[in-house]
Structure 1
Amino acid sequence: MSDNVIRPFQDKDGKRIGYHIWCEGCEEYHGIWVYNSNSYNGAKWTFNEDMIKPTFSPSLLVRSGHYQEDHKGGCWCDYNKKNPDKKAPFKCGVCHSFIRNGQIQYLNDCTHKLAGQTIDLKPDPND
């Protein structure tokens, strides 16, 4: 198992474009585009090139479901209400954080249990 707390990802041609972090609050990966701009909204971050104690800037804001700015009706909350025995693999939420020196500072606008807390980034639990 590696000590790295981030994992690189590539474009379709195999060129590194950014990194994934495991988010303990959302219990899923978040992508951070460093070498190319994000195709969704053009976002791009700076990175200190440290795989063990990374710092990315600016903050990372991830919105899903009805929290997305371009949301147009229907969401995972609605799906789950209609299908209580077959929960969606996704959920609606906000995760807003600063990633500095190997720690993730979850801001108070997060909708998950770690809002307002700062914790160490952990290596990928799936490694």
Structure 2
Amino acid sequence: MAALSKKLRSVEGGRLMFWCPGCDGAHQVTIGEGPGPRWGYNGNPDAPTFTPSVLVRSGHYVPGQEGKSCWCTYNADHSEDPAPFKCSVCHSFVTDGRIQFLGDCTHELAGQTVEIPDWEEA
């Protein structure tokens, strides 16, 4: 992982990574040519824009996982020692260094727009 700016990190395989304050974790997008989903990138590491939206799902929110065991069921069964993971949705537009969290997010920043935090703050 290499620092491109205070906001972005470059990761192997043509991926860029930014810190998501809603999830309190990093999200990655893949840019450039190659197989698999690719995002457009404005080339500005200080105020990045990625297109289209960034959608991150985990647990039972992942297509095909509905009704199967997930972090919700694990943590309910292990309430005395739950895992540090949870089922979630984070859906956003990243434009000019700001993250616009859409209403389908399952975290507390749903519906809000915030600056991408610097890695040192995260």
TM-score by length of 1: 0.85
Hey, what does 1:14 align to over in structure 2? none
Q: CA RMSD in A?
A: 2.1
Give aligned-pair identity as a percent: 41
Report the counterpart of residue 122 of structure 1 in structure 2: 117
Deviation at 1:9, TM superposition (A): 0.3
Cα separation, 2, equivalents of 1:9 and 1:24: 19
Aligned positions of 1:1-127 closer than 5 A = 3-11=5-13, 17-36=14-33, 42-71=36-65, 73-125=68-120
Unaligned runs of 5+ in 1: 12-16
1:2 deviates by 8.1
Name segments (4+ residues, structure 1) moved above 4 Å: none
Secondary structure, counterpart of 2:48 in structure 1: coil
SS at match of 1:88: coil
* TM value normalised by structure 2: 0.88
Q: Return 5+ residue gaps in structure 2 as ranges.
A: none
Deviation at 1:76, TM superposition (A): 0.3
Counterpart Cα distance in 2 of 1:36 and 1:84: 45
State the aligned residue count.
119
